[in-house]
């Protein structure tokens, strides 16, 4: 009798463990589905809208280029320096930067803006406006590093910083994309609270290249780190959180038109 009870108890523990593993695998599959969905939709928005942008639309002070030999980022213009560049607000939302691009919907244009935000306030849009967001302290710079891509939150005048990596568990910043509607004058975050348990941030970085400044490059990324997601949702990560980094980065290239036009003629579904 005692042996039978012990066997039944052992089978119960095994069954519970198997059930736990099945539940964990199911949650992991759900997370991967959310991650891939955000990444694919984000890339599609980038691809479908950069093609209609014109070179004259970009603000030379806040549009960066990369040197082919060194990989060093620099601005296309050098008239602003240091702290003046740090908190400079772009001219009205019709002016595009390395962190702002447009999408035409009907007769109006929506602006997409990406910025680094402290993890503690990444989901707080209280009092947030386009004007405030466009003077944000840190911005996502994405560059090639060790045969792959790396993303950092840097000041505008220090795009090659290395002290604020985005994908690490102890990162104090995450990246968000906002959609700005000038008619309604409102800011809408693309990443919602319900998806944060599966994805910790997403963003992009636009730039040109010194070998051919008529090509527009965009690097779009999405990432998940359990510790970062917990910090966003709970204010701090749990001691046993997994420093698992999932991230995808893709680079999209588009030719600039040399014709001086004022806006992007592409329309269609928002996609995000």
Look at residues 123, 231, 221 and name the one whose alpha carbon lies nearest to residue 171. 231
**Sole residue written with tokens 């523990």:** 13
pLDDT for the residue 216: 92
Centre a 10 Å sphere on the Cβ of residue 59 and count the other Cβ atoms it contains: 17
> Which residues lie below 8 Å from residue 36, measured CB to CB, with a gap of 6+?
none
Residue 179 vs residues 15, 168, 198, 248: alpha-carbon distances, Å: 47, 26, 21, 21
Residues of the chain with pLDDT under 50: 15-25, 260-272
pLDDT for the residue 267: 39
pLDDT for the residue 243: 86
> What percent of the chain is helix, strand and coil (3-state, nearest 5)?
30, 35, 40
Residue 100 vs residues 68, 93, 180, 190, 197: alpha-carbon distances, Å: 24, 8, 10, 14, 26
pLDDT for the residue 197: 92
pTM exceeding the 0.85 threshold for the entire prediction: no
Assigned token pair, 81: 């320096």
């Amino acid at each position: 009798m005692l042996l039978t009870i012990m066997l039944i108890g052992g089978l119960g523990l095994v069954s519970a463990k198997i059930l736990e593993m099945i539940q964990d695998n199911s949650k992991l599959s759900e997370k991967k589905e959310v991650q891939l969905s955000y990444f694919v939709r984000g890339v599609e928005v980038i691809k479908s809208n950069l093609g209609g942008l014109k070179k004259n639309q970009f603000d030379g002070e806040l549009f960066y280029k990369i040197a082919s030999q060194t990989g060093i980022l620099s601005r296309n213009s050098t008239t602003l320096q240091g702290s003046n560049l740090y908190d400079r607000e772009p001219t009205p939302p019709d002016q595009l930067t390395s962190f702002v691009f447009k999408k035409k919907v009907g007769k109006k244009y929506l602006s997409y803006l990406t910025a680094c935000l402290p993890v503690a306030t990444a989901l707080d849009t209280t009092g947030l406006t386009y004007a405030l967001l466009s003077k944000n302290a840190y911005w996502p710079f994405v560059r090639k590093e060790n045969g792959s891509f790396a993303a950092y939150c840097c000041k505008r005048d220090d795009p090659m910083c290395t002290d604020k990596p985005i994908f690490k568990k102890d990162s104090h910043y995450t990246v968000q994309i906002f959609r700005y509607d000038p008619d309604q004058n409102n800011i809408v975050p693309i990443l919602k609270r319900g998806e944060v348990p599966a994805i910790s941030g997403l963003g992009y970085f636009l730039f040109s290249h010194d070998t051919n400044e008529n090509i527009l490059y965009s690097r779009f990324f999405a990432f998940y780190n359990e510790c970062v997601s917990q910090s966003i949702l709970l204010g701090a990560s749990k001691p046993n959180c997994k420093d698992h980094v999932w991230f995808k980065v893709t680079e999209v290239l588009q030719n600039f038109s040399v014709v001086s036009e004022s806006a992007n003629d592409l329309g269609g579904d928002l996609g995000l």
